[in-house]
Amino acid sequence: MLESSGPKVLETAEEIQQRRQEVLNRYERFKERVAERGQKLEESYYYQVFRRDADDLEKWIKEKLKIAEEKSYEDPTNIQGKYEKHQSVVTEVQAKSRVLPELEETRKLRFTEDHFAHEDTKVHLEELSHLWELLMELMQEKGNRLLQILKFQQYLQECEDILEWIGDKEAIVTSAELGEDWERTEVLHKKFEEFQKELEARQERVDRVNQYADECAAESHPQLPLIKTKQDEVNVAWQRLCDLALRRRESLYSAADLQRFKRCGSGHCLTEDY
């Protein structure tokens, strides 16, 4: 009797059920391997994305650190421009400040303790945090130095402007002219009143000079000797101008009284008050 060389035919229900279960088991194992492989691919993908973003941030921070480490304030030329440029970098840094917290949140959600990249991402973020803190420190220090020098230069210019203004106005307060008649005396008096209004307005700028100098003294400014010298120059010149202004005012009042007396003597009494 010849035996069949083809596939064995399952003859019993039990054999059919067993065979079916084997197929189902293999399929389940296949699905598990596919799912496991998919999970690993997903984990790897998010890890690569994390590394890319973290590496990009690290590169960006190091570029800004080079800028922050530049001691451009040692050259006082165009400090205004340098300060404005620094402020634009500060704006960039502020805009970038959201990236590190976002990376930390991603790690918290994606790279838990059982994740293969848990420790690696932790170390990377710690390094980034250190670099970021260093950047903040250097940016703050550079900004403070630039602003300190800028304010110092502005102070010196303000002192020069005030001294120049005082020099221009000395001609008014040192004038010996009192007016040969009532009309001329009245013109001189009105001109002096205009000057007094300017003098009162200028007082605020002198006050700012003294306020800045006092603040510099309190913080031991490196240029304090020069700052005090300029402050003294301004205060001495200002006090002299105010004293001369007071004398000039008294002289003009006396001249006005004299002209009023003369007019009254000639029958043209005036009632204007000064």
User: Per residue in 149-193, pLDDT tens?
Assistant: 999 999 999 999 999 999 999 888 877 655 566 566 677 777 878
pLDDT of residue 23: 63
pLDDT of residue 209: 97
Cα separation of 71 and 142, whole Å?
8
Same fold, 13-150 and 174-265: yes
Question: What string of DSSP letters covers 104-146?
Answer: HHHHHHH--TTSTTHHHHHHHHHHHHHHHHHHHHHHHHHHHHH
CATH number for 13-150: choose from 1.10.8.50, 3.60.20.10, 1.20.58.60, 3.90.470.20: 1.20.58.60
Give domain limits for the chain. Answer: 13-150, 174-265
Are 159 and 209 in contact, with CB atoms under 8 Å apart?
yes
Q: What does the DSSP 8-state code read for residue 218? A: H
pLDDT of residue 33: 63
Name residues of the chain where pLDDT drops below 50: 1-3, 261, 270, 272-274
pLDDT of residue 131: 97
Q: Which fold has domain 174-265?
A: Methane Monooxygenase Hydroxylase; Chain G, domain 1 (1.20.58)
Q: How far is CA 5 from CA 2, 8, 66, in A?
A: 9, 8, 80
pLDDT of residue 273: 46
Are 85 and 15 in contact, with CB atoms under 8 Å apart?
no
